[in-house]
Structure 1
Amino acid sequence: MIAATSNASPSTDPNGVLALANTPVLWICALGVFLVIGVQSVIYILAARKASAAAGMTKQELNTSFSTGAIAAIGPSLAVALVAVALLPLFGTPATLVRIGLIGSVQYETAAASIAAGTQGVELGGPGFDQQTFAIMFFAMSLGGAMWMLATLILTPLLKKGEHKMAKVNPALMTVVPAAALLGAFVFLGLAEVPKSSVHVVTLATSAVVMGLCLLLAKLPGMRWLREWGLGIAILAALTAAYLAQSAGLAGVA
């Protein structure tokens, strides 16, 4: 059994999982990860400012791009934050910050944690969920995330070579393929939610309609700001619609 010290009460943490999950060493690792992210963000922003002139972008266009990205990140970040709060009693704060806050894939993280706990013959968060099971679960989650990063590191140069070859054959193709791939990915992820329940259908339809309206209204004089705020507005509208549909009892209707 892995020993750990913490201020967690024995009555609220009988197996000592939160005592292990909130140890100082994990806090140091979590803060180190976010420090690296902060440094990388500053480097990318400075590099973008230097490259903007060569790309023919004005300072105003560059600032608009930064503000659009920041605003568009509010909605997805809010969704991840809400789920992260729900997982704090299970994973602890450092593990939740690193895994859910960094990767953002709640489905993968919970699935990996459940499988890892199952190898010990216990349910995730169940009576037999102890420090040893938590350590195995956290290792499995971290190993899976590391493989994502390693695959990106290896495959990105290979894909870049393929991009250059395709650009030589047909330059216009490289303007269509990335947009089509991104659109296909979002359509696939959206349609995958449809069969689950009527709440998912209402949520998807609401977000699509609101986003479409925002893009249409953004063409009007004085409404260009909706291009930046459209995604955030659509996400908030979809969350509201999901809450109302859940309250109306549509969750069990497939």
Structure 2
Amino acid sequence: MLSLASTPAYLDVANSHWLWLSTLPVVLVVLLQASIFLRRAWSDGKEMGLSEEQLRSGFKTGVISAIGPAVAVLVGMLALIATVGGPVAWMRLSVIGSVAFELPAAELGVSQFGYSLGDENISETAYATAVWTMTLGGTGWLLFSAFGTPHMEKLRQKMGNGREKLIPVISSAAMLGAFAYFLTGEVAAGTPETGSVATGGIVMLILLRIADERDVQWLREWALGTAMIVGLVVGVALQVTVGSWW
């Protein structure tokens, strides 16, 4: 734990002006990629025959749906800032967005020198090792995404074996499997996590049911973000009040 009375000396390096400047280009590249993807999605949508209203509705839905995950990343960033400093936390969560990976990676780096995150006497070499561990450890899925994504559509078509009706089923099953993989780890983690997942799922089902019955488009757009935020609030409330029962 970090001491309230004093700040570890390595954080002077971790929050230096030079480190802020060195991480800025990485974040700018992420913002550039996002703007390129948005422009391509908009232009491709028009080529597919989508109207301006449909495009704006899709954009608004995407922005609203990103609120929940953004809140979770922001909370994780606060923990990361306290241990590795603002610049590195800003850069790493802009690229990867997973504090569940970044904190253990940083801990693994400093532990090679006999330290633990938050120790006041962490050396500059140990801190640099932590940053390299976080950076190099996260390159695997970035490289896989870069070189593997162009071939995913061919793989999906091959799995469908020429039967067009199977392709949506395969895509839906893959998406459900991915979400289930992440959710099972959270459900088994403790009572707050289980309550958060269950509440978010129930809220999502209720909102979508109401939206379908009353044909309320804006409710469909806000359903995912609302379910995530409610789930987070319930999880925090359970952690503060009853703690974890397993």
TM-score in terms of structure 1 length:
0.87
| Alignment equivalent of 2:222, drawn from 220, 225, 229 | 229
Q: Counterparts of 1:107 and 1:114 in 2: how far apart (Å)? A: 12
| Alignment equivalent of 1:192, drawn from 182, 185, 188 | 185
Q: Counterparts of 2:107 and 2:70 in 1: how far apart (Å)? A: 24
2:112 is matched with 119
Deviations 1:162-210 (A, max 9, x none): 2344466222222222221111111121122222221122111111110
Q: Counterparts of 2:13 and 2:34 in 1: how far apart (Å)? A: 31
| Alignment equivalent of 2:136, drawn from 131, 143, 147 | 143
Q: Counterparts of 1:84 and 1:156 in 2: how far apart (Å)? A: 28
Partner-residue secondary structure (3-state), 2:118: coil
| Alignment equivalent of 1:47, drawn from 40, 48, 52 | 40
Percent identity (aligned): 32
Q: Counterparts of 1:26 and 1:168 in 2: how far apart (Å)? A: 51
Q: Counterparts of 2:187 and 2:40 in 1: how far apart (Å)? A: 41
1:243, distance to aligned residue in structure 2 (A): 2.4
Q: Counterparts of 1:200 and 1:42 in 2: how far apart (Å)? A: 34
> Contact 1:84–1:101 at 8 Å: present in 2 too?
no
Q: Counterparts of 1:69 and 1:213 in 2: how far apart (Å)? A: 20
Q: Counterparts of 1:161 and 1:187 in 2: how far apart (Å)? A: 24
1:90 aligned onto 2:92:
no
> Contact 2:8–2:120 at 8 Å: present in 1 too?
no
Q: Counterparts of 1:14 and 1:21 in 2: how far apart (Å)? A: 10
Q: Counterparts of 2:148 and 2:94 in 1: how far apart (Å)? A: 24
> Contact 1:81–1:101 at 8 Å: present in 2 too?
no
Q: Superposition RMSD on alpha carbons, in Å?
A: 1.9
Task: Show structure 1 runs of 5+ residues with no match.
Answer: 1-10
1:245 is matched with 238
Partner-residue secondary structure (3-state), 1:53: helix
